[in-house]
Amino acid sequence: MKKKLLILCCLILNLGAFAQKTDTLVIHDDESRYLTNRYFLELEDPQNKILARDVINNHNFHKLNERFPRLSYNKPITWLKFTIKNGSRQSDVPITISRSVIDEFDIYFVETTVDSNRVTHSRLRHLSAKDPENSSNMLTQSVTLVDAPLEPDSSITLFARVKSVATTVIPIQISSSDLFITRRGIENLINGAIMGMFAIMALYNLMLFIIVGDKNYLYYSFYIMFLALTQGIQLGFGNNLFSDNLKLLNNYITPLTRICFGYTLLWFAGNFLRFKQNITKPLYNVYQLLYVIYALPLLAILYGYSDLGYSLITFAIFFTCLILILLVSILYAKGFNPAKFFIMGWGFFLIAIMISICKNYGVVPYNYFTANIVVYSAITELILFSVALADQINFYRRQNTESQLAALAIAKENERLITEQNIVLENKVKDRTQELIETNENLSVTIDNLKSAQIQLVETEKMASLGLLTAGVAHEINNPINFVGANVSPLRLDLDELMELLEKFEAAANNPDKPELLDAANKFKQKVDADFLKDEIKSLLNGIEDGASRTAEIVQSLRTFSRIDEQGLTPTNINTAILNTLVILRSAIPYFIEIKPILNNLQPLNCYPGKINQALLNLINNAIQAIEAKKKYHNESITIYTHDFPDHITIEIMDTGIGMSNEVRQRIFEPFFTTKNVGEGTGLGLSIVFGIIEKHNGTIQVQSSPNIGSKFTVTLPKNLTNPVGDIT
């Protein structure tokens, strides 16, 4: 029994040892073969802790079920052990990795040498894709190459270390040297032609944008440029440009280029298919969500998580493909013609991307078709998108032609209708012309009547001012005249008595022999009280003199008002004009209104004195009427200020009247506007005041508040020389 168990254990160990053996990969002339699971064993190194000297005798290498080795987020580094035999006539064997994002590719083998004493020495030799002899050859620009030295008919066991931040299949290809050179030359020509096609397409559409001005061509040019960059890197051109810094290429440039490609795709699709106008708002929000999804790998790349960024880019591209196919299908179902070519081109590209993703995850086998499907589908996509843009131009052209034909038909119909309407209108114009002639004649008569009425109203306003002036003058002159008249009678009686006394003394003087005459004269003198008579005569004469002075003052005040229609400028003391106006209005000022003239020293001002007095008369009289309109009176006053400035003077007239609202204040200078009852005013007073101030090149401003009062500020310039215009 023990012997049987021992034999069984030996068999199991032998089977295990047999299971770990692989075939030797033999390369003949003009032959190229992939390193499949038949020829290699794998050793994972996710923590990057295994050194090259440790893998030589490491027994943890094992076979894979997958045909090709594959790196992923959880397995960024792997070791491969394989044996190759050079059956060709060349003394080297090129080992390449193409169509993959590879950070590091290193080959190690044990080199055995025999010295002169026939002593065998072994040392570990390192071969790297970064060696100058590999990167200097232009034939290697699209692949990651390690040139293994191997004499014909000899074998060697190699240990390959591969590192990548992206989930990808590792398509290691071992070729004979002559076939490698031949194929590299052909592939480089094809790759150059592909990149040239991308460049031509980008420049062509950019030129169309400049000529046509359609933004679709601009977005399409950007889309082609970033598609060319992603495919150029995929074809290996980035390895040649960044041969000394593959980490920068793989960790930043490659993923950022793919992210920019995604954004340009979204811009082009959204603008070309007019998502904002043609799809519902919820679907448009889903489309905008794609921009946010691409921001996730961008943040991961910027923060240094390149391995996570590649996974998020794969997810974003896959999700973008599905969403765009859905949205384009909806538009195509609605009959939006540009979606037809887009769904065809993007459908091919979607299938290619799906196959490429499945290839990287080991779902689809790696071969020439799956390795190049994205490139060729991109070319097909560009052709179909170009056709779609051309079709869009034709579509817009047809729309434009149809619009022009429709517009032409409408124009002809409008022309016919206009012709008919012109005939009707001509007849109506004739009738209306005759009516207008009659109406114009009536209007001319009406305008003449209105002008006459306006002249009469202005004259009425002047007569109203004159009436106010006349009433004040009559009242003012009447008082001193009555005073004079009252003193004349007693003065006549006093003079009669005085004359009689003089006659008596004269008779006594002429008849000295008659003393009785002198006694009679003395008795009469005592009777009339000559001293009292003398004082009374002086008093009466003083009263008469005072009345005459007051009459002269009133007459002097009237002199400026008598020149209302004068046309010449005259130097005038504005303070005197204000006082004269107050003299004229003295009788019109009620007892409960206090007049407060606060007048600063002013130099004579060049003006029209009569016009200025008329304006002052209207403003002060309006202030009196505003106070009289109040229902109750309390501390009512009119304050008049004058101020002197270097180039002008100001007159401020403040009252404690009823004030005005903003609506009334804005219209008080309009002709015929009045707040008084019918028959109480013409509405021309303040309009004439405004004209007078404007003739003096001055201004008038109003501040007023209801139930508080108003303030009129008149500004008159000192340098008035020429008249501005006539005032009616």
pLDDT for the residue 328? 84
The domain segmentation of the chain, as residue ranges, is: 22-185, 194-400, 447-557, 563-717
Determine the Cα–Cα distance for residues 342 and 387; give it in Å rounded to an integer. 9
- Cβ count within 10 A of residue 704: 20
For the full predicted model, state whether its pTM sits above 0.85.
no
Element (H, E) at 182: helix 177-212
Three-class DSSP category at 626? helix
627-654 as b/e: b if 16+ CB within 10 A: beebeeeeebebbbbbeeeeebbbbbbb
- What does the pLDDT average to over 102-120? 74
pLDDT of residue 12 exceeding 50: no
Fold that domain 22-185 belongs to in CATH: Immunoglobulin-like (2.60.40)
**pLDDT band at residue 135 using 50, 70 and 90 as cut-offs:** very low
What's the maximum distance between 2 C-alpha atoms anywhere in the chain?
215
CA distances from 23 to 67, 85, 488, 689 (A): 14, 10, 162, 121
Determine the Cα–Cα distance for residues 332 and 321; give it in Å rounded to an integer. 16
List pLDDT tens digits, range 693-715: 888 899 999 998 888 899 999 99
- What does the pLDDT average to over 556-581? 71
Residue 137 has phi, psi (to 5 degrees) of -80, 120
- Answer yes or no: are the C-beta atoms of 32 and 49 closer than 8 Å: no
- What does the pLDDT average to over 243-258? 80
pLDDT for the residue 543? 65
pLDDT of residue 357 exceeding 80: no
List pLDDT tens digits, range 489-506: 676 776 777 777 777 777
| Radius of gyration, CA atoms only, the chain | 60
- Answer yes or no: are the C-beta atoms of 57 and 110 closer than 8 Å: no
pLDDT of residue 716 exceeding 90: yes
The residues with which 177 forms a beta bridge, in sequence order, are none
pLDDT for the residue 680? 56
- Answer yes or no: are the C-beta atoms of 41 and 19 closer than 8 Å: no
Top mean-pLDDT range of 278-292, 516-530, 664-678: 278-292
User: Of residues 671 and 51, which shows the higher confidence score?
Assistant: 51
pLDDT for the residue 430? 82
Is CATH 3.30.300.30 the classification given to domain 563-717? no
Which of 346-355, 633-642, 658-667 has the lowest average pLDDT?
A: 346-355
CA 395 to chain centre: 35
Query: CA torsion angle for 150, 155, 161, 167 (degrees, to 10)?
Result: 100
Where would I find the beta strands (DSSP E) of 261-415? Answer: none
- What does the pLDDT average to over 501-528? 76
Tokens found for residue 536: 């009374």
pLDDT of residue 11 exceeding 70: no
Determine the Cα–Cα distance for residues 233 and 225; give it in Å rounded to an integer. 12
- What does the pLDDT average to over 228-234? 78
Residue 723 has phi, psi (to 5 degrees) of -70, 145
pLDDT for the residue 699? 92
- Cβ count within 10 A of residue 717: 17
CA 720 to chain centre: 48
Mean pLDDT of the chain: 77
Would you say the C-alpha torsion 72, 77, 83, 86 has a positive or negative sign? positive
- Answer yes or no: are the C-beta atoms of 247 and 139 closer than 8 Å: no
The residues with which 123 forms a beta bridge, in sequence order, are 111
pLDDT for the residue 13? 38
278-302 as b/e: b if 16+ CB within 10 A: bbeeeebeebeebeebbebbbebbe
Q: Name the residue among 648, 647, 481, 649 with its Cα closest to residue 578.
A: 649
Element (H, E) at 185: helix 177-212
Q: Name the residue among 613, 583, 614 with its Cα closest to residue 464.
A: 614
List pLDDT tens digits, range 387-428: 666 666 666 666 667 777 877 888 888 888 888 888 887 888
Domains 22-185 and 563-717 share a fold: no
Which of 105-114, 131-140, 565-574 has the lowest average pLDDT?
A: 131-140
pLDDT of residue 356 exceeding 90: no
Would you say the C-alpha torsion 328, 329, 331, 332 has a positive or negative sign? positive
Burial environment of residue 404 by CB neighbours within 10 A (0 to 12, 13 to 18, 19 or more): exposed
Determine the Cα–Cα distance for residues 173 and 150; give it in Å rounded to an integer. 16
